[in-house]
Amino acid sequence: MNHRGNGDNRDDKDLTRVFFSAISVISVVNHVTPTFLTIGAIVLGVSASAGAETKRYTAERFDVAARMLPAGSVNVTETIRFRFDEGTFSRVWREIPRRHTDGIAVVDVRLDGQRFEPGAGPGQFSVSGTPQTRVEWHFQPTGPGGHTFQLRYTLAGAVRQSDAGDLFLWQALPTEHAYPIDASRIAIDFAAPPAGVPLITASRVAAHEQTLTGRHLEVTATGISRNGTLLLSISFQAGEAIAVPPAWQEQEQHARTLAPRWVAAAFAAFFVCAAVLLGARQGYVAPPRVPAALGVQAPPEPMPPALAGALLMKGRGALWQAMAALVDLADRGDVEVVETPGHLGSHKYDLILRADAAAVEEHQRAVRDIVFGGPARPATVTLGTARSRLARRAKPFSAAVERDLGARGLLDPARQAARNRLNSLALTVLLAGAAGCIAGAMLIHTYGLWPYFVPAAVVAAGVTGLVMGAGMTALTDEGVARAAAWRGFGREVDRFARHPDDRVPPSTWLAYAMAMGRAALWASYLNKHQRDVPSWFHAAAGSSGHPASAFSGFVVLGGASSTAGGGGSGAGAAGGGGSGAA
């Protein structure tokens, strides 16, 4: 939890809860850390009855008295003296995570010496929460003044065993407090004499000193800044503080002994899934490799741009190919584009359907019908609407592209079926692994992160399968050869856009550039060299600048998807956490 003080302190208790829920998750993830193991964040907070009310307060003292019991549990009494300077307060809460303990038992709750009973009304306290214990004081709204909040609780199994002996690792103060603490006194009575001088690590503390007398340790600190901490590390001779490790430590040790089995299971899961995916690939005969053709300075054949782009994607359809088909229809006289003024100088483009005659290919008819609808077509559609419709109905367009390629003898049904089979199975494996990761969260408390190795291996196998599928082509041998010629032309488009010569390329090159995923590059060329715009594009009336600037904006927006096609030292210590008021 997070308390704010010494300034404007807003009632952000909802944000606080979300923040420390994340702290709890992080604490669980750190469960496997063997050296410094954190019991978790201890959270203290004060909330107000008025959400937007400004509040100011400080902590005059934050005192802690602890007594270690022979079995390794620790009785803790915390006394916090808050001075409320401005605002109205009606609640105080404290959250104590249970991690690295065998449980937390609340013993006594008091306000200004008055003992509170369980309940939800004023003068009562409530206990809730998991994985942390949340204690709330409920009291009548109170304004400026000083009040003392006291909480007694028992941390079971707080002392652990280490290679050097028994160990009590404790964050005596909150690690998260957005207010300064004027002074603090930490007093601890041990069940056995410490083996040497306790190690204290202070952060953002002006001054501190310790006194060890036999089995009693006293630490005093002053000038504790915001988020200032005191980490105490007290060692004992083996067996003097505890005879057996706490249950949580035994559980961790058991989980570590099972780690090799989890790793072995992960390798087995990966290889089994990989074998299944390789089996799905059986029957696929890869075509011979054909390098990109050299010296291709014009489209190698009269093929619609969308189909040429699909050849470069090994027989797949994509959104930018659909936009290229729309520009192709404009080149053929079916569609016009009109720029209209937008808000704050932005570009807006309307697509106007003039005729239906040019849409002779099935994929062209599919684009026309998707963008402009059925028989009762609207006369005008915005570019944004067109892109949105094509994105939502990408599957019908891709199917039409595949049928057009198949009609030309460029698509191999056997290769396509093998690729689709592998991709579907790989996606299923990937989703199964992701579901396993979610289910694995239930095993973290018992086995740590090791169970995640198995679903992670399944996810890795699924990703491997998708990569394999991406390397497979659905084209026939002839389709692969013709795709090599189009790759050569694609390189010429790249070269010309970056280093143009004296030629003036025909307007049809735009559709090919978009279909090949080079819309942004071609738009840059058009804008830089101020080429004449095609007859089907009409810049906004009265607009300043060359029409090529507006046209390049249309190319960028129309083919935008084409670019896409192309811990601290105190970790592991008990205590710590946060505190504050609101």
154-195: pLDDT as tens digits = 999 999 999 999 999 888 888 778 788 999 999 999 999 999
Integer Cα distance of 92 and 45 in angstroms: 5
For 116, which DSSP code?
A: P
What tokens appear for 107 in the block?
A: 């013993």
Tell whether 69 and 119 lie within a shared domain: yes
More confident residue, 553 or 245: 245
Supply the range of the domain harboring residue 484: 288-412+474-565
- Based on the number of CB atoms within 10 Å of its own CB, is 237 exposed (0-12), middle (13-18) or buried (19 or more)? middle
For 298, which DSSP code?
A: S
pLDDT, residue 68, reads 94
Tell whether 228 and 180 lie within a shared domain: yes
Tell whether 102 and 236 lie within a shared domain: yes
Please check the confidence at residue 429 and state whether its pLDDT lies above 50.
yes
Confidence of residue 448 (pLDDT cuts 50, 70, 90): confident
Tell whether 187 and 64 lie within a shared domain: yes
Assigned domain for 273 exists: no
Assigned domain for 449 exists: no
Q: Give the residue-averaged pLDDT of 467-477.
A: 94
Tell whether 45 and 112 lie within a shared domain: yes
Assigned domain for 404 exists: yes
pLDDT, residue 1, reads 39
Tell whether 134 and 65 lie within a shared domain: yes
Q: Would you say 452 and 440 are in contact if contact means Cβ atoms under 8 Å apart?
A: yes
Tell whether 204 and 306 lie within a shared domain: no
More confident residue, 61 or 503: 61
Arithmetic mean of pLDDT over the chain? 83
Tell whether 401 and 480 lie within a shared domain: yes
CA distances 505 to 257, 392, 500, 525, 534, Å, are: 69, 33, 10, 11, 12
Q: How many distinct structural domains can be found in the chain?
A: 2
Assigned domain for 464 exists: no
pLDDT in tens, 71-108: 899 999 999 999 998 999 998 888 887 888 899 999 99
Q: Would you say 129 and 98 are in contact if contact means Cβ atoms under 8 Å apart?
A: no
What tokens appear for 252 in the block?
A: 């961790």
Assigned domain for 110 exists: yes
Confidence of residue 445 (pLDDT cuts 50, 70, 90): confident
Assigned domain for 525 exists: yes
Integer Cα distance of 154 and 276 in angstroms: 53
Among 204, 235, 256, residue at a domain's last position: 256
Tell whether 344 and 224 lie within a shared domain: no
Q: Looking at the chain, how many residues does it have?
A: 582
Indicate which CATH number applies to the domain containing 171.
2.60.40.1730
Q: Which residues, in sequence order, are bridge partners of residue 581? A: 4
Integer Cα distance of 353 and 109 in angstroms: 76
Tell whether 237 and 371 lie within a shared domain: no
Tell whether 78 and 152 lie within a shared domain: yes
Assigned domain for 376 exists: yes
Tell whether 186 and 316 lie within a shared domain: no
Please check the confidence at residue 132 and state whether its pLDDT lies above 90.
no
Integer Cα distance of 263 and 261 in angstroms: 5
Query: CB 405: neighbour CB atoms within 10 A?
Result: 24
Assigned domain for 173 exists: yes
